[in-house]
């Protein structure tokens, strides 16, 4: 490969290490600090290995800004290495027709695939109005050349497709069949059906793939999220409404589809009444849902399951009828029936049943063991990149990638440019965080912001705590990330933060704690207002017990590992280059428990004064 880019020495040695590990250990996990060029290093290693072994590359990212970063590097690397790269996303994001006709509603990728196939069939039969975006220009040389020469992001190509009336999804799908490198979101590839369809179109077997996992510390949570599923009162109501619209099929004599909905709804309501007793969530047995539903309706349990199977057939029928009507073939009945039938199998597959009060009552099959869904990824060679993967053994065990090699790149920037302090005069522990502690926290934050006069990002452990502090009131002007803020509002707030010197309040693990870059002086102070312990509750307890029973280390796996990742991700926002300077302050006496993982932190009795002194010293 010609050098259109300059690798630093540690990057060269990392590339060698990764390539060697891909050959001998099936993969590598790399922890390297922000600003160390992880994306470039991962790509060069993947390209080097893939070129020699004839494999293809799949780069998985979590957010749009991470995808942009990869594409930026590929615009330099791909032409140099003669490789073709293409961004991939699902129809949810790239089908303009779906966005036109069903705005705001969400559909499974399966329904969208059926919808699209139906429209394309009509176009092929001569009805061009069925989809004006599906035309001969999709497969034109000009279109393919544009994709491979410009390597647009999926969003850029969507805009182009809208303007020129060319289907972006179909264009990128066709381009992918000729590509050497695909960049896709995790959610797309962790969906087993979508992944299989994509790989078969690409013509690549899993064994012939090198997968780069960007920000890999998110992998356990993403896998759990994709594998878990819920049945809520709201989803039952939607299915009931649809069942009525489509004739309310009689599943058996005097038992209609809406009766099944009522049976299930009453089951959840009765369970909530008997079990929740004022709590947000409790663990139940999988059998509880079926027992409560069946007893309430006066039916036997095996009858419940045969009704569920018939309800599924009715849902299938609705889907076909919707398709015939030209609507998106998604059925609420089918979706509910599938989840009820999956509920039956979940108990044996590493799930726990949780009942919670959300949406008037919801039961959830919560996945404890993410290794199952990640098993298919283990058939490929993998490169795991992140700023926070330690302790590696926990990461390897939780994800099931137990054989891969690991390496940590310690700080590559001058240690003296960063100061990490903790203050032990506050505890955000649930039972001791009273009004006095809240006021104390407000004062500390305000003092730090005022005394340093630098751009500051304040990370809270939850929106609740953030709002509590906001309610006390600040004497300084500030910006705040709220849960309800749209992506557009968030971006304008970020622009304001970049231009003006106002502190910004956000939540750890939220939308601002990773994936957004703050180079140079854009961010010089990070305050961690508390330790981001997972929310206590039935899920967390189940996770703890599970890892305690498997590894004898429930606390390390279920608590310490995610907490350390969130804290280090937040601190990692500060330094991105040789000349950056910054101070992180942790406002919680429990910070001391994490000294082993954040060894550079030191106790401060007056963080505002110490932080300000640090910047004074740096300016001399
Ligand atoms: S061809 Fe493209 S625009 Fe038309 S339905 Fe399919 S994905 Fe949507």
Question: Which residue among 88, 91, 94, 101 has the greatest number of ligand 1 atoms within 8 angstroms of its CB, and so is best to mutate?
Answer: 91
From ligand 1's centre to the CA of 150, what distance in Å? 22
* Topology given in CATH for the domain delimited by 228-367: Fumarase C; Chain B, domain 1 (1.10.275)
From ligand 1's centre to the CA of 126, what distance in Å? 16
Give pLDDT tens digits for 601-615: 999 999 999 999 999
From ligand 1's centre to the CA of 155, what distance in Å? 16
Given a contact cutoff of 8 angstroms between Cβ atoms, the answer to whether 354 and 542 are in contact is: yes
Task: List all residues whose CB is within 6 A of at least one atom of ligand 1.
Answer: 91, 95-98, 116, 119-120, 131, 133-134, 167, 169-170
Q: How far is CA 256 from CA 157, 252, 286, 314, 343, in A?
A: 47, 7, 24, 10, 21
The complex's ipTM works out to 0.99
Q: Of 486, 403, 449, give the one whose Cα is nearest residue 585.
A: 449
What's the pLDDT at 456?
95
Minimal-distance CA residue to ligand 1 atom 2: 167
What is the number of the ligand 1 atom nearest to the C-alpha of 98? 8
Minimal-distance CA residue to ligand 1 atom 7: 95
What's the pLDDT at 4?
61
From ligand 1's centre to the CA of 134, what distance in Å? 6
Mean pLDDT over 535-546 rounds to: 93
**CA–CA gap between residue 235 and residue 265 (Å, rounded):** 10
**CA–CA gap between residue 561 and residue 553 (Å, rounded):** 11
What's the pLDDT at 532?
93
Torsion of Cα atoms, 379 then 385 then 389 then 392, to 10°: 50
Given a contact cutoff of 8 angstroms between Cβ atoms, the answer to whether 382 and 213 are in contact is: yes
Strand, helix or coil at 97? helix
Cβ partners under 8 Å of residue 453, min gap 6: 501, 612
Question: Which residue among 133, 168, 171, 175 has the greatest number of ligand 1 atoms within 8 angstroms of its CB, and so is best to mutate?
Answer: 133
What's the pLDDT at 432?
77
What's the pLDDT at 560?
95
Minimal-distance CA residue to ligand 1 atom 4: 131
Cβ partners under 8 Å of residue 538, min gap 6: 281, 282, 283, 352, 354, 355, 356
**Residue 454 above 60 pLDDT?**
yes
Give pLDDT tens digits for 23-59: 999 999 999 988 888 999 999 999 999 999 999 999 9
Average pLDDT, the chain: 91
What's the pLDDT at 2?
47
The string of DSSP letters for 164-194 reads HT--HHHHHHHHHTT-SEEEEEHHHHHSHHH
Q: Do domains 1-83+180-215+387-412 and 91-176 have the same CATH topology?
A: no
Give pLDDT tens digits for 181-223: 999 999 889 988 889 989 999 999 999 999 999 999 999 999 9
Q: Of 525, 508, 531, give the one whose Cα is nearest residue 593.
A: 531
What's the pLDDT at 444?
96
Strand, helix or coil at 552? coil
What's the pLDDT at 356?
93
What's the pLDDT at 510?
76
Which has the minimum average pLDDT: 67-76, 313-322, 546-555? Answer: 67-76
From ligand 1's centre to the CA of 97, what distance in Å? 6
Helix (H) or strand (E) holding 21: helix 9-24
Given a contact cutoff of 8 angstroms between Cβ atoms, the answer to whether 41 and 73 are in contact is: no
Give pLDDT tens digits for 285-323: 999 999 999 999 999 999 999 999 999 999 999 999 988
Tell me the pLDDT band of 60, cut-offs 50, 70 and 90.
very high
Minimal-distance CA residue to ligand 1 atom 8: 95
**CA–CA gap between residue 213 and residue 316 (Å, rounded):** 36
Annotated domain spans of the chain: 1-83+180-215+387-412, 91-176, 228-367, 415-619
Structure tokens at 420: 């990490």
Angle CA 266–270–272, to nearest 5: 120
One CATH from 1.10.30.20, 3.20.20.450, 1.10.40.60, 1.10.1740.10 for 91-176? 1.10.30.20
Q: Of 422, 370, 383, 389, give the one whose Cα is nearest residue 569.
A: 389
From ligand 1's centre to the CA of 316, what distance in Å? 22
* Topology given in CATH for the domain delimited by 415-619: Rossmann fold (3.40.50)
Helix (H) or strand (E) holding 381: strand 381-386
What's the pLDDT at 1?
47
Architecture of domain 1-83+180-215+387-412: 3-Layer(aba) Sandwich (3.40)
What's the pLDDT at 573?
83
Minimal-distance CA residue to ligand 1 atom 1: 134
Given a contact cutoff of 8 angstroms between Cβ atoms, the answer to whether 154 and 146 are in contact is: no
From ligand 1's centre to the CA of 49, what distance in Å? 36
With the C-alpha atoms ordered 190, 194, 196, 199, is the resulting torsion angle positive or negative?
A: negative
From ligand 1's centre to the CA of 138, what distance in Å? 11
Tell me the pLDDT band of 103, cut-offs 50, 70 and 90.
low
Strand, helix or coil at 223? helix
Which has the minimum average pLDDT: 10-14, 310-314, 347-351, 365-369? Answer: 347-351
């Amino acid at each position: 490969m010609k050098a259109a880019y300059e690798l630093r020495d540690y990057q060269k040695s990392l590339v060698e290490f990764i390539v060697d590990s891909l050959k001998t250990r099936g993969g590598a996990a790399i922890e390297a600090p922000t600003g160390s060029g992880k994306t470039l290093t991962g790509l060069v290693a993947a390209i080097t290995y893939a070129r020699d072994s004839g494999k293809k590359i799949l780069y998985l990212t979590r957010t749009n800004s991470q995808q942009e970063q990869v594409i930026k590097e590929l615009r330099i690397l791909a032409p140099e290495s003669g490789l073709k790269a293409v961004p991939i996303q699902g129809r949810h994001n790239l089908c303009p027709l779906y966005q036109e006709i069903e705005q705001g509603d969400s559909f499974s990728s399966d329904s969208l695939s059926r919808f699209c196939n139906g429209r394309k069939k009509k176009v092929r039969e001569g009805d061009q109005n069925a989809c004006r975006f599906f035309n001969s220009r999709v497969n034109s040389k000009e279109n393919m050349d544009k994709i491979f020469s410009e390597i647009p992001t999926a969003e850029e190509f969507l805009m182009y497709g809208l303007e020129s009336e060319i289907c972006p999804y179909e264009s990128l799908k066709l381009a992918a069949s000729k590509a050497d490198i695909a960049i896709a979101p995790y959610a797309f590839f962790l969906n087993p059906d979508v992944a299989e369809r994509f790989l078969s179109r690409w013509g690549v077997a899993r064994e012939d793939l090198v997968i780069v996992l960007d920000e890999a510390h998110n992998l356990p949570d993403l896998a759990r999220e994709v594998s878990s599923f819920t049945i809520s009162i709201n989803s039952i109501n939607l299915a009931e409404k649809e069942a009525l619209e489509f004739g309310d099929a009689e599943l058996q004599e005097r038992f209609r589809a809406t009766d099944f909905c009522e049976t299930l709804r009453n089951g959840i309501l009765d369970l909530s009444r008997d079990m929740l007793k004022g709590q947000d969530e409790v663990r139940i047995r999988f059998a509880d849902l079926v027992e409560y539903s069946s007893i309430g309706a006066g039916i036997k349990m095996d009858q419940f399951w045969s009704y569920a199977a018939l309800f599924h057939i009715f849902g299938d029928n609705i889907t076909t009828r919707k398709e015939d009507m030209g609507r998106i073939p998604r059925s609420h009945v089918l979706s509910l029936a599938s989840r009820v039938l999956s509920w039956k199998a979940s108990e044996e597959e590493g799930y726990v049943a949780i009942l919670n009060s959300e949406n008037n009552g919801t039961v959830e099959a919560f996945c404890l063991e993410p290794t199952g869904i990640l098993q298919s990824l283990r058939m490929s060679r993998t490169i795991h990149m992140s700023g926070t993967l330690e302790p590696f053994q926990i990461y390897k065990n939780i994800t099931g990638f137990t054989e891969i090699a690991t390496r940590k790149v310690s700080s590559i920037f001058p240690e003296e440019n960063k100061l990490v302090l903790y203050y032990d005069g506050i505890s955000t522990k649930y039972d001791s965080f009273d009004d006095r502690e809240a006021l104390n926290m407000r004062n500390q934050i305000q003092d730090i912001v005022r005394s340093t006069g630098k751009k500051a990002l304040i990370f809270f452990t939850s929106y609740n705590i953030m709002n509590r502090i906001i309610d006390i009131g600040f004497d300084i002007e500030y910006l705040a990330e709220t849960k309800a803020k749209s992506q557009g509002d968030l971006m304008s707030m970020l622009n304001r933060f970049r231009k003006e010197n106002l502190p910004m309040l956000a939540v750890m693990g939220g939308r601002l704690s990773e994936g957004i870059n703050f180079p140079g002086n854009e961010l010089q102070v990070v305050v961690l207002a508390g330790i981001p312990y997972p929310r206590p509750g039935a899920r967390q307890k189940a996770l703890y017990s599970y890892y305690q029973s498997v590894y004898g280390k429930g606390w390390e796996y279920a608590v310490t590992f995610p907490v350390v990742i969130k804290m280090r991700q937040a601190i990692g926002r500060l330094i991105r280059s040789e000349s950056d300077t910054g101070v992180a302050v942790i406002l919680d006496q429990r910070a001391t428990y994490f000294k082993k993982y954040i060894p550079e932190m030191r106790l401060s009795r007056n963080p505002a004064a110490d932080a300000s002194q640090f910047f004074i010293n740096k300016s001399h």
